[in-house]
Amino acid sequence: MLPFRKFLSGIFISGCMVSSAWAQDLSYAELIAQGAASQELPEYRDDLKRDLTTWDSGDLIALAAGPARLPKSFKTGVASPLQNSDPNTIKEIVDLLVYQVENRTSKNFATIVLDDQFAGPEVFLMNNLINDRTKNPALWDMLDLVDRDVRWMALRDKAAFERARPFEVDPALQPQIKVDTPSYPSLSAARALAAADILSRLNPVCSAWYEGIARNVGEGRQIAGVNYASDISAAKVLADRVVQGLIAEGHLSEVAARVRDEAMNTRIPFKPCHFMAQQSD
């Protein structure tokens, strides 16, 4: 494990210098231990609450509309997040600072901003991996159904846990995109992961590409300073549980049959994924 060796002492992140307390010659373990006992590190507050009225109107409408199929009492399996002052949260913040320094390039920033303008299945349309709604309405009906339940469950859990965003806990993490909901679990990651799961089940040959796109969404949220790694992990748990719940209860059977019929009627529901491999050569 590398020591910091004043690694962060002269580094600026979006014009904001990293806290000087993090510029000491400390290993991660030493830093966490100090964070639990010392006042030299920033004060990590546990009372950062967000009024629901500050949420984006689209999220409020989605929350009011309710899930498409699963009951509102559905258990997502997402555990309570760490408190802001927990040593492991402090470690996550340090990890984010290092991750941002290593990955916040102009190219990554452009991708993050672009990804933020799309959500769930639309990320895969943007990456040219599926056709638009007019060409494959049944496929989009299926993706929309899953996305609605994933979105509602994630918003419900966000409201219940009210975890502060990383940049709210430490201002050194300057956000690169606007967010107005709590941090945990990551909504963007959950929606992308669920869509990737469905697409992979329908078109396994391209599963690596679907999963890669979803993974990029989660990584981008961390580079942007708006989500912890544990927010992304919780999003994975939620997405898996919702998809499995919808399948187990037979909620996808009818629309899956329509997707199959759509594919047989000379329409091509999926675009070839080999072009992505060519681009990466």
State pLDDT tens for residues 203-223.
898 999 999 999 999 998 998
Q: How confident is the model at residue 280 (pLDDT cuts 50, 70, 90)?
A: very low
Name the H helices within 82-226. 87-103, 106-116, 122-126, 137-161, 166-169, 187-202, 207-223
Contact 16, 172 (CB under 8 A): yes
pLDDT of residue 173 exceeding 80, the answer is: yes
Out of 25-34, 68-77, 234-243, 256-265, least confident range: 25-34
pLDDT of residue 7 exceeding 60, the answer is: no
3-state SS, residue 205 = helix
pLDDT of residue 194 exceeding 60, the answer is: yes
pLDDT of residue 105 exceeding 60, the answer is: yes
Helix axes 137-161, 57-65, angle to 10 degrees: 100
Q: How confident is the model at residue 40 (pLDDT cuts 50, 70, 90)?
A: very low
Alpha-carbon gap, residue 196 to 176, rounded angstroms = 25
Contact 179, 227 (CB under 8 A): no
Q: How confident is the model at residue 49 (pLDDT cuts 50, 70, 90)?
A: low
Backbone angles phi, psi at 16, to 5 degrees: -115, 120
The predicted pLDDT at position 118 comes to: 77
Q: How confident is the model at residue 54 (pLDDT cuts 50, 70, 90)?
A: confident
Strand partners, 270: 130
What burial letters (b/e) apply to 198-221, b meaning 16+ CB within 10 Å? bbbebbeebbebbbbbbbbbbbbb
Q: Assign residue 77 a region: left if phi > 0, alpha if psi is -120 to 50, beta otherwise?
A: left
Spans of all domains in the chain: 14-38+78-280
Which residue pairs, CB below 8 angstroms and at least 24 apart, start in 24-28?
Answer: 27/1, 27/2, 27/3, 28/1, 28/91, 28/94
pLDDT of residue 38 exceeding 50, the answer is: no
Alpha-carbon gap, residue 188 to 190, rounded angstroms = 6
Which tops the pLDDT comparison, 211 or 1?
A: 211
State pLDDT tens for residues 115-166.
667 788 999 998 889 988 988 899 999 999 999 999 999 999 999 999 999 9
Alpha-carbon gap, residue 107 to 63, rounded angstroms = 34
Which one of 4-18, 80-94, 152-166, 232-246 scores highest in mean pLDDT? Answer: 232-246
Domain 14-38+78-280, CATH homologous superfamily name and number: Phosphatidic acid phosphatase type 2/haloperoxidase (1.20.144.10)
Which tops the pLDDT comparison, 235 or 168?
A: 235
Mean pLDDT, rounded, for 48-67? 80
Alpha-carbon gap, residue 31 to 27, rounded angstroms = 6
The predicted pLDDT at position 115 comes to: 67
3-state SS, residue 92 = helix
Q: How confident is the model at residue 267 (pLDDT cuts 50, 70, 90)?
A: low
- Contacts of residue 115, defined as CB under 8 A and 6 or more positions apart, other chains included, come to 123, 126, 188, 216, 217, 220
Residue 186 one-letter amino acid? S
